[in-house]
Amino acid sequence: MRHISVLPSLTASSSAVISFRRSSSLFLNPTTNRLGFFRLRTMASHIVGYPRMGPNRELKFALESFWDGKSSAEELQKVAADLRSTIWKQMADAGIKYIPSNSFSYYDQVLDTTAMVGAVPPRYGWNGGEIGFDAYFSMARGNASAPAMEMTKWFDTNYHYIVPELGPDVKFSYASHKAVNEFKEAKALGIESIPVLVGPVSFLLLSKPAKGVEKSFSLLSLVENILPVYKEVVAELKSAGAAWIQFDEPTLVMDLESHKLQAFTHAYSELESSLAGLNVIIETYFADVPVEAYKTLTALKGVTGFGFDLVRGTRTLDLIKGGFPSGKHLFAGVVDGRNIWANDLSASLNILQALEDIVGKEKIVVSTSCSLLHTAVDLVNETKLDKEIKSWLAFAAQKVVEVNALANALSGQKDEAFFSANAAAHASKKSSPRVTNEAVQKAAAALKGSDHRRATNVSARLDAQQKKLNLPILPTTTLGSFPQTMELRKVRREYKARKISEDEYVKAIKEEINKVVKLQEELDIDVLVHGEPERNDMVEYFGEQLSGFAFTVNGWVQSYGSRCVKPPIIYGDVSRPKAMTVFWSSMAQSMTGRPMKGMLTGPVTILNWSFVRDDQPRFETCYQIALAIKDEVEDLEKAGINVIQIDEAALREGLPLRKSEQAFYLDWAVHSFRITNCGVKDTSQIHTHMCYSNFNDIIHAIIDMDADVISIENSRSDEKLLSIFREGVKYGAGIGPGVYDIHSPRIPSTEEIADRVNKMLAVLESNILWVNPDCGLKTRKYGEVKPALSNMVAAAKLLRNQLARAK
């Protein structure tokens, strides 16, 4: 079996090198090259984690080549080793003192932890020993005989993790030595790194009970069983020469009951003797740490330092000022790991100096707010951003520099020129006329006086729509995109590079749309889509046509596995200069007599999947986007498009982690969606789509969106969405819980899909149920899509016949 972790070559290939020396000369000081100054000092600086994909998505392409059988495991491992080597050297060259290892992953850090503790579900046929690529990627992606494990959002980010499946019979064992191997790998390069592990309590809290396990089963009952594996890992790291170890325990920012907090106390008390001789950091991120959690955390035994997100967790500052344990290190996360704006260095330095007075000069460490995984890699790679906007930004490589610049300033070695240039950039952003559009601000402000609901209730609207659309029971549809082939991407690339004319581009896209329309007609799908061949990304495509957005060339961010997104940058007020989708949707509708969906991305998703301006509340930006999408919806309706899907895939993602803040978010997020379609006719059917999150706790907000039809991910999450309807929630609009997982290459059978739909029919009325996949088909191949959709339609027809006979 092929192993995940081997000690690779220590020589970095040119293709995977991040040119940090070049980056440093540009961004350590905009006027002079002071790289040497920073390299001579190793100050108290720390990076929580770093992007894995590489500056040019080297890991993405290596993974996909390996999955396609075009390259070997050794070739994949070589690319991965080169990336790790370059990242470590980059941080060392910048002067970072505390450099993380084991923050790299071939797919996901939680899946890595599942492998480390040997918690492989039985369906993958793993029989012990070191977990190799076969079992690892089967868990992530599924295989011919077993579906993938559930994938869901990592807290409130657009990163996804693979959810561990645990039950009372799980046998934990030390089954992946990746953490130790990567520490040794760094050490061989002369890098004394801090190995990073997902902490044992957060790992359990982020898991789910395995299928068939009682709901009452407590995942925390497994603490005693899992700790021996962590003790083995710690012992190996100590033997390998580790001086520090970082446990990521991000669940401490959640609203945790007392018994869950007690689990942290118990776990680290049990680990205390094993951790003796090591310096231990407990890292938290993404929000404030609640008062009781702060007390629990700072009282943990055997812990050297605590890491806090002081960007999204500003109230944690008050807790620190109110009391911080004597002699402990504070890893102060003042550089934002989740956005791309340059740090306000003077403001951050003021915070750090105030904290220094509390915890002591030798005990404060400048850090990032969270892993830099959530930002783009290197601003040096951006050749098309204009000079003004570029001066406002900092990607991961630049944030490393910011961390060390702050650490040096805190120690009395302030680079005045660097700080002055930073202050000038902030002043430029604040005063730039391109940021503000008074007409847009006035229109958005006027929205606050109405709730923007459609005049007629959903039941009456559905009746009017059915008379117009004449759909069968259990109507079939897909959710927007069809496979994006290499040829199609080449056409878009060549058009963007002006290598082909607009007429040639339109002709090529028209041919692709026609192919997709004909395929859907052959498959006998009821409501069609045009396949989105003209779109690079569901957010970027719209952002490129809206004012107030900027775009990168290589600003890629990992979403899951090899999937990367390139979030737009919202730097100013948003408006729609002209129609964005009407031309293509009208063209597609002209090719068929069946209903053609107009496909739009909703305002909340555009917001949550962009790097958003930080100079006004997020809801104000969202209202601006909602008005722009409203204009597009009404233009589609005028053009004869009777079904319009407004995707809100990221609605749940933006939900604050603290319950006390959730109602306000849901109020403006749901309001933003309603704004987009409040003016359409009853006969215009408004769909929305959501995926890969836990929606059960916001189902009433989803109902309040007042969409006519909602399609929602269901199959990969073991149909837990259906449980809310079993528990009595009444839903009167149309609904399409996904019948198969599109993020796996596996093709479900007709019988499997029919079985899923039957489970839906047990809790939902047949007259509101739709049949569709979990999500769009962009990432799949036609060889997978055609048979899967054929089986989906066959299952719908089978059940229609059964329902007809039952009458």
The tally of CA atoms less than 13 A away on the side-chain side of residue 31 is 9
CA distances from 314 to 285, 288, 343, 380, 646 (A): 11, 7, 15, 30, 34
Cα separation, 528 vs 689, in Å, equals 15
Cα separation, 129 vs 477, in Å, equals 44
Specify the pairing of strand 685-690 against strand 709-712: parallel
Residue 115 · residue 178 · CB < 8 Å: yes
DSSP state for residue 775 in the 8-state scheme = S
Q: Please name the amino acid found at residue 43.
A: M
Cα separation, 705 vs 290, in Å, equals 31
Cα separation, 577 vs 390, in Å, equals 24
Residue 585 · residue 641 · CB < 8 Å: yes
Q: What is the H or E stretch that residue 599 is in?
A: strand 597-601
The tally of CA atoms less than 13 A away on the side-chain side of residue 22 is 7
If one counts every other C-beta atom within 10 angstroms of the C-beta of residue 801, the result is 10
Residues with Cβ within 8 Å of 239's Cβ and at least 6 positions away in sequence, in order, are none
User: For this structure, is 743 an active site residue?
Assistant: yes
Q: Give alpha helix (H) positions in 142-240.
A: 178-188, 200-205, 223-239
Residue 696 · residue 723 · CB < 8 Å: yes
Location of structure tokens 């934002």? 336
Cα separation, 610 vs 423, in Å, equals 24
Widest CA span of the chain, in angstroms?
83
Query: In Å, how far from its chain's centre is CA 664?
Result: 22
Residue 193 · residue 89 · CB < 8 Å: no
Cα separation, 624 vs 541, in Å, equals 17
Which of the residues 46, 374, 530, 743 is marked catalytic? 743
Distance between first and last Cα of the chain: 54
Q: Exposed, middle or buried: residue 122 (CB in 10 Å: 0-12, 13-18, 19+)?
A: exposed
Residue 291 · residue 320 · CB < 8 Å: no
DSSP SS3 for 392: coil
Indicate which residues carry an active-site annotation.
Answer: 743
